[in-house]
Amino acid sequence: MINSLIIYMKNLSIRKKITVMFTLSLTIVSLILLLVFRYICGSVLYNNAKNNLINNINASVNKISYYSDESFINENDNPINYENGYLVFEDELFNDNNIQISIYGKDNKQIIGDSLIAKELRGLELINNNIFKIVSEVGTYQVYERNIKLNNDSFLWIRGIMSLEEVQNQLRDIAMIAIYVLLIVIILASLFAYTFAYKLIKPVIKINDITSDIYDEKDLKKRINIFRSNDEVNQLANSIDEMIGRLEEAFNNKSKFISAISQEIKTPLSVVIAKCEYMLDRKRNEEDYKEAFRTILKQSGRMHRLIKRINDYINLDAKQKDFPISDINLSSIVNDIGMEMKLLKDKNIELYLEVEDDIYIRGNRILQTCLVENIISNAYRYGRENGYIKVRLFSENDKALLEVEDNGFGISEESIGNIFNAFHQTNNPQPNGYGLGLSMAKKIVEFHRGSIDVKSNINQGSCFRVVFNQA
């Protein structure tokens, strides 16, 4: 049974699942409330019946008279001899259809009265102020008994019997009305839940439709754009929109990447093909062949270096787990690379080092070496003849700050936002790079949870600033 219900629920739509679960929960709560309500109503009705019986019996005591002298008895009275005297009962005492009254002597023998459950009561000891229920073949009854003191030392017993059939009928009617009301409430609530569930999952349906359209049409420009309160569905939609945006950016970058690689390879490859066709066109002298081979070798070397840089760039994304993290001395790395590059005297540029000792960060030494080389090499590449490069490393507020400043050609405002993109090259008068160095630098900085930015002015130079947390 339970397994069948689970299988049935699995095959339902979310809307129907919400409706079924809501209806089941409401039904269970309604049944519990119905039982509690019936218990409370039963307690109130039975208590009212009990108090009514007790009050009636106590009032009936005043309708019983005892006379020791017959002369006090009226002609219309029907006296009964009892204990050397006479008992007189008012007619109203036995006229209440709801309560049956019986009178007993002190020896527990019945004097007057009758009862439908006399058989069940026969032989029961009379107890003062005793109230109890008794179930017989003809129904359920409430019984109350007490004694009555007479004028002398003698006394009587009075026993009142009330049928609880009316109370039970009232309870049954109340229960039926409550059941009908609850059924109507459950049906209306289920219809409301079904409608509300549709409104609730409507954004989910929209998410599914749009993602299906994106898959079918391969259109990553579409967005879900659900404008609701900040609930879980809205957060899901926003997350999917962000994911689609990242996918769109990734595919665009992939296309640009492939296009840029093709363009970069196309130029040297065209030179190689042209040289080969030139040599095969007709017989050349030895010097022409040597010149052609030198050109082919140079262009082949350029393609080799480009492929190596591309491979390094890809590995940086794909194999980050292969770069272990430890405490590294950034001061040592900057000093070593700075001293090596200072000897190059490329473009007769002067390199100045201002490095604070023993600045440690958490990172990978190989990547940090690549980062420093790329930033300083970029300063050389776009620097001026007889210019300068200033490399500074210092600590500030538990941060390690690396600054590389040059007085080169600078970067235009429209290019600053793109310089960290792969294969982007500025409008430098003498570009000679592949546009991968700064992109790799940014990835390395992000890998180390740092930040990198640049300030630049055309014909005044640039200043790259990298910030890391100190170890």
- Each residue of 11-32: pLDDT tens digit? 777 778 888 888 888 899 999 9
Q: Which amino acid is at 352?
A: Y
Residues 29 and 59 in one domain: yes
**CA nearest neighbour of 110 among 147, 53, 63, 156:** 156
365 and 453 together in one domain: yes
The pLDDT of residue 318 is: 58
> What is the rounded distance in angstroms from the CA atom of residue 10 to the CA atom of residue 8?
5
β-pairing, 461-469 vs 399-406, is: antiparallel
The whole-number average pLDDT for the span 375-385 is 87
CATH, residue 141: 3.30.450
Let me know whether 18 and 166 are in one domain. Answer: yes
What is the pLDDT, as a whole number, of residue 321? Answer: 65
Output the average pLDDT for the chain: 82
- Spatial separation of the C-alpha atoms in residues 435 and 423, rounded to whole Å: 4
| 116 lies in the same domain as 41 | yes
What percentage of the chain exceeds 90 in pLDDT?
22
Place 333 in a pLDDT band, splitting at 50, 70 and 90.
very high
Query: How many residues are listed for the chain in this entry?
Result: 471
User: Which pLDDT band holds residue 180 (cuts at 50, 70, 90)?
Assistant: very high
- What pLDDT sits at residue 463? 93
The reply to whether 83 and 122 lie within a common domain is yes
Residue 230 pLDDT > 80 = no
Q: Ranked by mean pLDDT, which of 19-23, 134-138, 185-189 comes out on top?
A: 185-189
- Sign, CA torsion 43/44/47/53: negative
Give residue 394's region: left, alpha or beta (phi > 0; psi -120 to 50): beta
Answer yes or no: is pLDDT of 116 > 60: yes
Is residue 332 scored above 60 in pLDDT? yes
| pLDDT at residue number 262 | 73
Q: What is the 3-state secondary structure (H, E, C) of 216-272?
A: HHCCCCCCCCCCCCCCHHHHHHHHHHHHHHHHHHHHHHHHHHHHHHHHHHHHHHHHH
Q: What does the pLDDT average to over 216-230?
A: 68
Residue 313 has pLDDT above 70, yes or no: no
**Structural domain for 256, as ranges:** 232-316
pLDDT tens digits, 211-220? 787 776 667 7
For residue 144, being part of any structural domain is answered with yes
As for how many domains the chain has, the answer is 3
Residue 343 scores a pLDDT above 60: yes
- What's the confidence (pLDDT) of residue 423? 62
Q: What is the mean pLDDT of residues 441-464?
A: 89
Contact 370, 420 (CB under 8 A): no
Residue 356 within a domain: yes
Contact yes or no for 132/45 (Cβ under 8 A): no
- The whole model's pTM is what? 0.48
CATH number of the domain enclosing 364? 3.30.565.10
| Nearest in space to 247 (alpha carbons), one of 218, 212, 227, 209 | 218
From 281, 316, 351, the end of a domain falls on 316
Find all residues with CB under 8 Å of 118, minimum gap 6, and list them. Answer: 102
Average pLDDT over residues 445-452: 90
Residues 288-306 have pLDDT tens digits of 888 888 888 887 877 777 7
Q: How far is residue 64's CA from residue 71's CA, in Å, rounded to a whole number?
A: 17
Residues of the chain with pLDDT > 70, as a percent, come to 87
CATH number at residue 283: 1.10.287.130
* pLDDT over 90 at 401, yes or no: yes
Instruction: Assess whether 243 and 109 both reside in one domain.
Output: no
Q: Is pLDDT larger for residue 415 or for residue 22? A: 22
Distances in Å between the Cα of 180 and the Cα atoms of 22, 82, 191, 436 are 19, 57, 17, 77
- What pLDDT is attached to residue 429? 52
Collapsed DSSP state (helix, strand, coil) of residue 383: coil
Q: Which of 269, 287, 316 is the last residue of a domain?
A: 316
Structure tokens at 142: 């409430």
How far is the C-alpha of 462 from the C-alpha of 383, rounded, in Å?
Answer: 9
Q: Are 395 and 359 in contact (CB under 8 A)?
A: yes
Q: Are residues 381 and 251 in the same domain?
A: no
Nearest partner of 108 among 124, 119, 131, judged by Cα = 124
Q: 24 and 124: one domain?
A: yes
Rg (CA), the chain: 52
Taking Cα atoms as reference points, which of 396, 411, 389 lies closest to residue 345? 389
Taken in order 390, 395, 396, 402, is the CA torsion positive or negative? positive
5, part of any domain: no
pLDDT band at 5 (very low <50, low <70, confident <90, very high): low
Contact 434, 415 (CB under 8 A): no
Q: Which of 316, 337, 361 is the last residue of a domain?
A: 316
Which tens digits make up the pLDDT trace of 418-438? 787 766 666 555 555 556 778
What is the pLDDT, as a whole number, of residue 217?
62
Strands 399-406 and 388-396: antiparallel
Question: Other CB atoms closer than 10 Å to residue 44's CB: what's the count?
Answer: 11
